[in-house]
Every structure is written in structure tokens, then in C-alpha cells.
A and B are shown apart, each in its own frame.
Chain A
Amino acid sequence: MRRSFYILILAGILIVVIINLPGSTTARVSTFLRDAMLPLARPMAHVLTLGQGLFLDESQTANNVQLLSEIAQLRLELRQAQALEQENRALRQMLGLSAHIDRRLIAAEIIVRDVNAWWQTARLNKGLADGIALDMAVITPEGLAGRIIRISRNTSDVLFLVDPACRISARLTRLDACGIVRGQGMSWRGQASCRMDFISKAVQIMPGDEVITSGLGGMYPPGLVIGHVENVRLDHSGLYQSADIVPTSNFRSLDLMFVVSRDEGPQDAKAEAE
């Protein structure tokens, strides 16, 4: 009995020590274990997706990845071109202030869905070694999916935009009105939803209006599609409007995602001449 008591005391002390370890130590332990488990996790993920990874032709898979990557890249460039055109119109009196920003897309496969049961997250098979960094935006060919919240050498975790912990500065394309998009989680039927808050009461929002990232804060590039307005109402304070947003990305059937790097190209030639 005494031995059991000492074991329990020792266990309690050990657990308290583990919980109070410095963040850098726990991060090192976590990243080491995650990278060590990756060789087991990858085949497990393939088996659990009904053996797709076991039976699909490798060249066909690679071709699909390349095509999806090109689609995502082209859509991103189109969105950026539209955003730049709007910005150019607004800044036509100023010279050389708009910088052409090149964004590189890093394709990554989802190896673990629902990393844990508390946040809407997924794990990608790319990490620091592939040029991914914390807080980089993650997109699908349909639009914004989330951002990188945790990273190791060979893996990274995405926090989906539908998670309530994810907040994005957004803009209604048609009205140029800004607000904050916050995830509302998944319903029990598996339907993802978001809500856009702090929208000015003065704007007339219609169902179907497109919501994109505003670029404010610098975390998410501007012009990434978040979703469309489903319905609108006045918030509980009566000072602002709130809109329910249906995200364009389908979070339950994602296999491939693209991390948007923060590489920047050279400034405009006019700016350099100035």
C-alpha cells in the first residue's frame, strides 16, 4: 500500500513537471515525435482512405496533383489581378506604390484529418524543410482553407477557417465593406459555416455576395475567396450587421492543399525609377 502511495506521488509530480515544461522543450519533443511517427502515419492515412494510395497509378496521381496545382495557381493569380486592378483604380493619383507580389504555392497532401477532437485541423506532409512557415495561408482550388498553426521539419498543421479560433479580416467584394470572419465549426451534419461580424449597417448585403480576404494585418494575402453570404441579420448590439458565410472549400473531402508562401517579387519599375 505504501509502495502504491509513493508511485502515485511520483506520478503526480512527473505530470505536473511535464505540464509546466517550457514551451520550447515541449515543442521540440512534439516535433520530434511527429516527425518520427510520419513513416507510420502516411501509410495509415492511405489505408484509411479506402486504399486509394495503394491502388492508384503513381503517374496518374502525379498528373492530377500537377493539374490541381496549376488550377489553384491560376485562380490565385486571377484573384490577385482583380484585387490589383481595384487597388490601381483607387491609387491612380499616386505613383509606384503598388508592388507586384509573387506568391509561390507549395502543394501538400493531408495525412491526418481531425488531428485532435477539439479544433478543426488537419496535418500536411510538408513542413519547414519544404519552405513552409507559421501563419502561412493555406488554400484549395476553391478558395481559402486556413492557416498554418504548428510546424515541424516534415509536417505542418492547418487550422481551418471554420474553427472558431480562426479569425480573418475580410471584405465583401461587391460592396467593399470590411468585417471579421470567424469560424462556427461543423454542424452535427458535417456542414461547415462561418460568420462575418462588424459589418457596417449602412451597406445592403445580399445573399450570395462574395467574401474575400482583405489583406489587412498581413497574415492572409488579399483577394482569397472565403465564401458566400447565406443570410444577414443585425448583431445583438444593433450597431453592426452579421452575415452567415458558407465557405467555398469543402473541408470534409480535401486531400490536397496549397500553402501560399510569402515570397515577394521586385517593386514596379516606376517605383524604382523614382
Chain B
Amino acid sequence: MVVALLVGAVVQQALPGLTLLGQAKAPIVLCVVLYYAFHRSLALMVLAAIAGGVLCDSLEALPMGYSAAVFSVLGIVAWFYRDVVFSARGVTHMVFGLLAGVGLTIGLYGLLLIGGESLREAAWSWIAFKAIGTALLGMILAPIIFTVLERLDRLTGNIVMEPSS
């Protein structure tokens, strides 16, 4: 989990935003949190959300705790719904990545407005573009990150391989 969060946060920070889509950034750490929401216990997911959020806030110069709050909420929602969806299917991961991307943008924007940060008087169109961009990136990245982390978990023995019949 530590390696996944560290590498994810550094890559997320290093990747430039999509100018055409409101400078949307790839929500890599959020996808890591969603993976833990789908495949691990609530406690581990919450830990990943808070640790990943603190790391993101430090690297991306956001007020401390904002990303942790949003990641936790989105992770908890995903954790609650994991038993009523096909949680092993790629399509499910894409849908959750898309919805989480929208939630991340709106959640962070809301917190930044409430916190009184020196945020631009953002046009709704800019926020909408950003939400769409983050959603698209989440939709694309979620299945990839899920697959990578699953492989990593198998490699490290965190997932027990089912015996072949």
C-alpha cells in the first residue's frame, strides 16, 4: 500500500493537467483508494485514503486534509456498494473511476470554496470541464491501476491464489 501510494502520488504530481479539460489531473491516488475499497477491509481503505490524501495535499500544495476527506468519502461509498456490483469486472471499475472523478472535483472545489482559499471566481464551465476531464481520466485509469495493484498483491502474496482444479 505504501509503495502504491508513494508512486501514485509522485506520478500524479508529475503528470501535467489536461489544458483542454480544465487542467484536470489524473486521479491516480484516488484509483488506488478505490482499489482498496473494492478488495480490502474498511480500515485499510480508510488508512489508504487518509495517507494518500495527506501525501497528495503535501505534494500538490492543497490545504492539509482536504484530499483525505474527499478520498475517504468516495472510498467509503465505493466500499458500501462493492457487494451489490460486479466488483471484479473492468466495466465496474471504469464506472466507479468516472463517478469518483466527478466526486473528487466537486468535493475539492466545495472544500476550497468553504475554506475561503484564494481560488479564482471560477466559471461553472471551467469546473464542469475539470469534472469531465477528471472523470474521463478516472474511467481510463481505474481498470489499469486495479490490474496493476492486483498483480502486485499477487506478487507479494497479499492475495491468495485459488488452487487450480
Q: Is A79 an interface residue (CB 8 A)?
A: no
CB within 8 Å for A11 and B25 given contacts A113-B16, A164-B120, A188-B20:
no
Min C-beta distance of A142 to chain B, whole Å: 20
Q: Of the candidates A34, A121, A164, A186, which one forms a contact with B19 in the assembled complex, judged by CB atoms under 8 Å apart?
A: A186
B127–chain A nearest beta-carbon distance, Å = 10
A6 to chain B, nearest CB (A): 10
Query: A40-48, A99-107, A234-242: which lies at the B interface?
Result: A40-48
Q: Are A121's CB and B54's CB within 8 A?
A: no
A135 CB-CB contact with B under 8 Å:
no
A14 interface residue (CB < 8 Å to B): yes
| Interface residues as binary, B53-68 with A (CB distance below 8 Å gives 1, 0 otherwise) | 0110111111111101
Report if A202 contacts B (CB, 8 A): no
Q: How far is the CA of A153 from the CA of B64 in the complex (A)?
A: 19
A210 within 8 A of B: no
Given A15-B69, A40-B6, are A115 and B119 neighbors across the interface (CB < 8 Å)?
no
| Cβ–Cβ < 8 Å partners of B14 in chain A | 41, 44-45, 48, 112
Q: Which residues of A contact B16 (CB under 8 A)?
A: 48, 113-114
Establish whether residues A34 and B120, one from each chain, have CB atoms under 8 Å apart when the complex forms: no
Q: Which of A8, A32, A41 contacts B13 (CB 8 A)?
A: A41
A37 on interface, CB distance cutoff 8 Å: yes
B66: which A residues are within 8 A, CB to CB? Answer: 19
Contact B17 A19 (CB under 8 A): no
Assess whether A30 is in contact with B43, with CB atoms less than 8 Å apart: no
Q: Is the CB of B64 within 8 A of A29?
A: yes
A185 to B126, CA, bound (A): 10
CA distance A172 to B47 in the complex (A): 54
Closest to B105 in A: A117
With A4-B42, A188-B129 already in contact, the answer to whether A21 and B58 are too (CB < 8 A) is no
Within 8 A of A (CB), among B97-122: 108-109, 112, 117-121
Range, interface on chain B: 35 or more
Q: Does A165 contact B (CB under 8 A)?
A: yes
Q: B72 contacts A11, CB within 8 Å? A: yes
| Known A30-B64, A115-B13, A163-B120: A37·B46 in contact at CB below 8 Å | no
Q: Are B63 and A15 in contact (CB under 8 A)?
A: no
Do B10 and A40 touch across chains, with their CB atoms under 8 A apart? yes
Minimum distance in angstroms from A140 CB to a CB of chain B = 18
* Contact pick for B68, options A15, A33, A44, A117, CB 8 Å: A15
CB neighbors of B among A232-273 (8 A):
252
CA distance A80 to B21 in the complex (A): 40
Verify B17–A117 contact, CB threshold 8 A.
yes
**Which residues of chain A are within 8 angstroms of B134 by Cβ–Cβ distance?**
117
B112 CB to nearest A CB, Å: 6
B22 vs chain A, min Cβ distance (A): 8
Is B155 an interface residue, CB under 8 A from the partner?
no
Which A residues are in CB contact (< 8 Å) with B42? Answer: 4, 7-8
CB-defined contacts of A119 to chain B, threshold 8 Å = 61, 119
B62 touches A116 (CB 8 A): yes
Minimum CB–CB distance from B109 to chain A (whole Å) comes to 8
| The one of B17, B50, B54, B126 that contacts A11, using a Cβ cutoff of 8 Å | B50
Interface contacts beyond A21-B64, A45-B14, A119-B119: sample of 8 additional A-B pairs, CB < 8 Å, sorted by A:
A11-B76, A15-B50, A18-B68, A19-B64, A19-B69, A29-B58, A40-B6, A116-B61
Q: Give the interface of A toward B (CB within 8 A).
A: 4, 7-8, 10-11, 14-15, 18-21, 26, 29-30, 32-34, 37, 40-41, 44-45, 48, 112-119, 121, 150, 157, 163-165, 185-186, 188-190, 252
Q: Which residues of B contact A (CB under 8 A)?
A: 6-7, 9-11, 13-17, 19-20, 22-25, 42-43, 46, 49-50, 54-55, 57-66, 68-69, 72, 76, 108-109, 112, 117-121, 126, 129-130, 134
Between A and B, 7 residue pairs with Cβ closer than 8 Å are: A18-B68, A19-B65, A20-B65, A33-B58, A114-B16, A118-B108, A185-B120
The 3 closest A-B pairs by CB, nearest first: A19-B65, A18-B65, A116-B60
